[in-house]
Amino acid sequence: MAKDRTQAQGLRELGGVDRVVHEPARLMILMILYGVREADALFLLNATELTWGNLSSHVSKLEEAGYVEVDKGFAGKKPRTMLRLTGAGRRAVDDYRATMQAALKKPGAR
Amino acid sequence: MAKDRTQAQGLRELGGVDRVVHEPARLMILMILYGVREADALFLLNATELTWGNLSSHVSKLEEAGYVEVDKGFAGKKPRTMLRLTGAGRRAVDDYRATMQAALKKPGAR
DNA sequence: CCAAGTACTTTGTATGGCAAAGTAAACGGG
DNA sequence: CCCGTTTACTTTGCCATACAAAGTACTTGG
CA B39 / C1′ D27 distance in Å: 23
Asked whether the predicted pLDDT for residue B8 surpasses 80, the reply is: no
Taking all residues of chain A, what is their mean pLDDT, rounded to a whole number? 90
CA distance B30 to A59: 31
Q: How much is the average pLDDT of A104-109?
A: 75
d(CA B33, CA B26): 11
Architecture of domain A21-96: Orthogonal Bundle (1.10)
Find the chain A residues whose C-beta atoms sit closer than 8 A to any C-beta of B: 7-8, 11-12, 14-15, 17, 22, 24-25, 27-28, 31-32, 34-37, 47-50, 97, 100-101, 103-104, 106-110
Q: What is the CATH number of domain B2-103?
A: 1.10.10.10
Q: b/e map of B44-79 (b: 16 or more CB within 10 Å)?
A: beebbebeeeebeebbebbeebebbeeeeeeeeeee
Q: Does B37 have pLDDT greater than 90?
A: no
B106 confidence band (pLDDT: 50, 70, 90): confident
Confidence check: pLDDT of B82 > 90: yes
Higher pLDDT, A3 or A36: A36
Alpha carbons within 13 A on the beta-carbon side of A41: 21
Contact: A24, B31; criterion CB under 8 Å? no
Is the model's pLDDT at B110 over the cut of 50?
no
- Average per-residue pLDDT for chain B: 90
- Of the two residues A4 and B49, the one the predictor is more confident about is B49
CA distance readout (Å), A51 to A13, A55, A56, A71: 32, 6, 8, 20
